[in-house]
Amino acid sequence: MRPVGSKYLLEETLGRGATGTVWRAQVREDVSVPGIEPGRPVAIKVLREELAADPDVVMRFLRERSVLLRLNHPNIVRVRDLVVEGELLALVMDLVEGPDLFRYLRGNGPFSPIAGALLMAQIADALAASHADGVVHRDLKPANVLLATSTVDGSEQMHPMLTDFGIARLADSPGITRTHEFVGTPAYVAPESADGRPQTSAVDVYGAGIMLYELVTGRPPFQGDNPVAVLQAHLRQDPERPRTMPEPVWTVIERCLRKNPAERPGAVSLANALRVVAAGIGVHASPAAVDAALEVGALLLPDPRPAAEPGPVEGSADPTQVLPAGAGYAQVFGAEDRTQVMSAPQGSADRTRVMPPMPPMPSSAPAAPAATPPQPESPHPWQTQLRAARDRNQQTEVGYFDPQELAAPQVAPRPYQRPPQPQQPQGPAGYAQRPPVAPPPYQANQGGPAGRPAQPQPYGQPQYQQPQGYPPPQPYQQQAAPQGYPPPAPQPVPARRPEPAPARRPEPPAPQQREPQPAREPRRRSRNRMYIPGLGCLKGCLMVLLILAVAAAALWNFTDLPVYWDNVRTWFNSVSDWFKSVNGS
Ligand SMILES: Nc1ncnc2c1ncn2[C@@H]1O[C@H](COP(=O)(O)OP(=O)(O)OP(=O)(O)O)[C@@H](O)[C@H]1O
**Confidence class for position 34, pLDDT limits 50, 70, 90:** confident
Judged by average pLDDT, the poorest of 194-203, 388-397, 513-522 is 388-397
The DSSP string of 221-287 is S---SSHHHHHHHHHHPPPPPPTTS-HHHHHHHHHHT-SSGGGSPPHHHHHHHHHHHHHHSSTT--H
**What average pLDDT does this structure show over 167-173?**
62
- For ligand 1, atom 4, which residue shows the shortest CA distance? 96
- Rounded distance from Cα 182 to ligand 1 centre (Å): 20
* Euclidean distance between CA atoms 218 and 361, whole angstroms: 28
pLDDT at 361: 38
Q: Which protein residue has the closest C-alpha to ligand 1 atom 19?
A: 17
Q: What's the pLDDT band for 38 if we cut at 50, 70, 90?
A: confident
pLDDT of 460 > 70? The answer is no
Question: What local confidence, expressed as pLDDT, does residue 216 receive?
Answer: 96
> Residue 272 Cα, ligand 1 centroid: separation in angstroms?
28
Q: What is the mean pLDDT of the chain?
A: 67
Residue nearest ligand 1's atom 20 by CA: 17
Residue 42 pLDDT grade (very low, low, confident, very high; cuts 50, 70, 90): very high
What does the DSSP assignment read for 177-240?
S-TTEEEE-GGG--HHHHTTPPP-THHHHHHHHHHHHHHHHSS-S---SSHHHHHHHHHHPPPP
Most confident option among 318-327, 328-337, 381-390: 381-390
The answer to whether the CB of 112 is under 6 A from ligand 1 is no
Q: Does residue 20 have its Cβ closer than 6 Å to ligand 1?
A: yes
CA 16 to ligand 1 center in whole angstroms? 7
Considering only CA atoms, which residue is closest to atom 31 of ligand 1?
Answer: 100
Q: Which residues contact 135 (CB under 8 A, 6 or more apart)?
A: 67, 71, 165, 166, 321, 416
Please determine, for residue 123, whether its predicted confidence score (pLDDT) is greater than 90. yes
Active site residue 318: no
The domain segmentation of the chain, as residue ranges, is: 8-94, 101-173+182-299
**Which residues are documented as binding site for ATP?**
45
pLDDT reading at 96 higher than 60: yes
Answer whether residue 245 shows pLDDT above 90.
Answer: yes
- pLDDT of 469 higher than 70: no
Mean pLDDT across 43-63: 82
Output the pLDDT for position 25. 94
> Which superfamily does 101-173+182-299 belong to?
Transferase(Phosphotransferase) domain 1 (1.10.510.10)
Among the residues of 29-136, which ranges form H helices?
49-52, 55-63, 65-70, 101-108, 113-132
Residue range 354-368: mean pLDDT, rounded:
34
Contact between 205 and 266 under an 8 Å Cβ cutoff? The reply is yes
Q: 156: CA distance to ligand 1 center in Å? A: 22
149 vs 166 pLDDT, higher one: 149
Please check the confidence at residue 552 and state whether its pLDDT lies above 80. yes
Please determine, for residue 5, whether its predicted confidence score (pLDDT) is greater than 90. no
ipTM of the complex: 0.96
Question: What pLDDT, on the 0 to 100 scale, is given for residue 175?
Answer: 52
CB of 19 sitting under 6 A from ligand 1:
yes
Residue whose CB lies within 8 A of the most ligand 1 atoms, among 11, 92, 161, 163, for a mutation test: 163
Question: Region 320-327: what's the mean pLDDT?
Answer: 25
Q: What is the pLDDT of residue 173?
A: 53
Query: What's residue 574's pLDDT?
Result: 92
Ligand 1 neighbourhood includes 484 CB (under 6 angstroms):
no
3-state helix, strand, coil in the chain (%, to 5): 35, 10, 55
95 in ligand 1 pocket by Cβ < 6 Å?
A: yes
Three-state DSSP class for 345? coil
User: Would you say residue 442 has pLDDT above 70?
Assistant: no
Residue owning the nearest CA to atom 24 of ligand 1: 17
Residue 266 to residue 319: CA distance in whole angstroms? 22
What would the mean pLDDT of 252-267 be, rounded to a whole number?
95
What is the pLDDT, as a whole number, of residue 399? 42
pLDDT tens, position by position, 274-310: 999 999 999 899 999 999 999 999 999 887 653 233 3
Q: Which is the catalytic residue, given 54, 100, 133, 139?
A: 139
First to last CA, the chain: 111
393 Cβ below 6 A of ligand 1: no
The reply to whether ligand 1 has any atom less than 6 angstroms from the CB of 43 is yes
Span from the CA of 144 to the centroid of ligand 1 (angstroms)? 7
217 lines ligand 1 (CB under 6 A): no
pLDDT higher than 80, residue 71: yes
Confidence tier at 241 by pLDDT (50, 70, 90)? very high
CA separation for the pair 434, 508 (Å, rounded) = 9
pLDDT at 419: 35
- pLDDT tens string 534-550: 778 888 989 999 999 99
Helical H segments across 336-431, by residue range: 381-387
User: pTM of whole model > 0.80?
Assistant: no
3-class secondary-structure state, position 484? helix
Q: Domain 8-94, what architecture?
A: 2-Layer Sandwich (3.30)
pLDDT given for residue 150 in this prediction: 79
Most confident region among 24-38, 332-346, 500-514 by mean pLDDT:
24-38
Q: Which of 153-162, 239-248, 372-381 has the lowest mean pLDDT?
A: 372-381
pLDDT digits (tens, 9 = 90+) for 127-163: 999 998 888 898 899 999 999 987 888 877 789 999 9
- The pLDDT value recorded for residue 533 is 67
Q: Is the pLDDT of residue 530 over 70?
A: no
> Best mutation site among 10, 11, 14, 50 for ligand 1, i.e. most ligand atoms within 8 A of its Cβ?
14
For range 199-215, the mean pLDDT: 95
196-212: average pLDDT:
92
Q: Quick one: which atom of ligand 1 is closest to the CA of 20?
A: 18
Which residues are CB-neighbours of 579 under 8 A, at least 6 positions away? none
- 342-359 pLDDT, tens per residue? 223 333 333 222 223 333
> Is the pLDDT score of 18 beyond 90?
no
Nearest-CA residue for ligand 1 atom 12 is 15
Contact 44, 91 (CB under 8 A): yes
Q: Which atom of ligand 1 lies closest to the CA of 144? A: 21
Of residues 168 and 430, the one with the higher pLDDT is: 168
Quote the ligand 1 centre to 17 CA distance (angstroms).
Answer: 6
Looking at residue 531, its pLDDT comes to 56
**pLDDT of res. 458:** 38
User: pLDDT at residue 501 above 80?
Assistant: no
